Amino acid sequence: MEPSGQAELVMAFANTLDVEEGTDELTSQAGLARWLDTPRVDAGDHRLALDLRAGIRERLSLDGDADPEIVAAGDAALRELPVQVGLGGRLTPAGSTTAARRALGMLAVAWTHLVITEESQRIKRCAEHSCGWVFWDGSKNRSRRWCSMRVCGNRNKARAFASRQRAAQ
Ligand SMILES: [Zn+2]
């Protein structure tokens, strides 16, 4: 099963933070504006984006150890974004329809799509904490834990092996 465009969008957003490389495309308002392709973002937009991203990344943790406060802050960000719409074309909440909020709203709508289609269950954050890459699990039984078996999976196996060796001594 291939990821939808919405899944690609959410994963790209989540991966603007690269734990392994130690880089973050969204550290500044200018960086966020560039990523969203909007003329500018204000401090409030920036806060919302960071809370939303942190919440999504936390929610994708594979070990059931998501920090509820981080998830709650992400949920609060979701509620501020214009994701509800009437047939008359009015977005809710009102007053949240600057270019930046609309662009962030697209992310929120993409997330909604993933939850409705249950694609959200195929989006995971690599179980290797020093990696944390968000990836698509296209496997039949959705059993993947690492972004790449070759790199993170083997790294993990090597560590488990080393700790078993230590325990055996
Ligand atoms: Zn990884």
Phi, psi of 30 (to 5 degrees): -65, -40
Q: Can you tell me the distance from the alpha carbon of 24 to that of 121, in angstroms, rounded to the nearest whole number?
A: 25
> What pLDDT, on the 0 to 100 scale, is given for residue 106?
93
Q: Can you tell me the distance from the alpha carbon of 55 to that of 65, in angstroms, rounded to the nearest whole number?
A: 13
Residue 92 CA, ligand 1 centroid: distance in Å: 37
> What pLDDT, on the 0 to 100 scale, is given for residue 98?
85
Instruction: List the chain domain ranges.
Output: 5-168
> What pLDDT, on the 0 to 100 scale, is given for residue 61?
87
List residues bridging with 87 in a β-sheet: none
Residue 75 CA, ligand 1 centroid: distance in Å: 26
For residues 118-148, b (16+ Cβ closer than 10 Å) or e, as one string? ebbebbbbbbbeebbbbbbbeeeeeebbbbe
The residue type of 62 is L
Fold annotation for 5-168: Jann2411-like fold (1.10.3300)
> What pLDDT, on the 0 to 100 scale, is given for residue 95?
63
Residue 33 CA, ligand 1 centroid: distance in Å: 28
Residue 109 CA, ligand 1 centroid: distance in Å: 27
pLDDT in tens, the chain (169 residues): 899 999 999 999 999 999 988 999 999 999 999 999 999 999 999 999 999 999 999 999 888 789 999 999 999 999 999 888 889 888 877 666 789 999 999 999 999 999 999 999 999 999 988 899 999 999 999 999 999 877 787 777 777 777 777 777 6
- Predicted structure pTM score: 0.88
**Strand 123-125 and strand 91-92: pairing?**
unpaired
Q: What is the largest CA-CA distance in the chain?
A: 71
Give the distance from CA 69 to its chain's centroid: 16
Residue 49 CA, ligand 1 centroid: distance in Å: 23
Q: Can you tell me the distance from the alpha carbon of 68 to that of 44, in angstroms, rounded to the nearest whole number?
A: 22
> What pLDDT, on the 0 to 100 scale, is given for residue 153?
74
